[in-house]
Amino acid sequence: MLKTLFPFVALLVSGGSTSAPVGEGGTVTAARTAAGVVVELRGRDGWRLNADYPVRLTVDGVVHGPSEAKWRGRSGGKAAAASWTVVTSATRGTVKAAFCDASRCLPPYAVTIPLP
């Protein structure tokens, strides 16, 4: 039960950045910089992004897909992280991604976060 509630109650907002869990396998962070808002998805605790799933960030109705992402540690259909930099005054964004560990992949999970 706690794992089910955790994504909805464990939102952290601090000092110009936001962070939230993405299901049980990942984390999304957003930080406002001079270049725009940088949104990063990354795996946690042995989980990696499923790079074969079309990860996406939606801000103000505009979808930013995998071809626009900057990937880190991408190999074998998995990646350590993917990030986008968007110029926006929007206050919310939605990410959707799937995560895998050594033995299984989780279904895709979406979360909406406040943008700093």
Within the chain, strands assigned E span: 12-14, 17-22, 26-33, 36-43, 48-50, 56-59, 62-64, 70-72, 78-79, 81-86, 92-97, 99-100, 109-114
pLDDT, tens digit (0-9, with 9 covering 90-100), for 71-83: 999 999 999 999 9
Q: How far is CA 29 from CA 76, 79, 104, 113, in A?
A: 24, 16, 24, 9
Domains of the chain by residue range: 19-114
Domain 19-114: give its CATH code.
2.60.40.1250
Q: What is the mean pLDDT of the chain?
A: 87
Burial tier of 69 (Cβ tally within 10 Å: 0-12, 13-18, 19+): buried
pLDDT at 16: 84
Asked whether the beta carbons of 68 and 40 are under 8 A apart, the reply is no
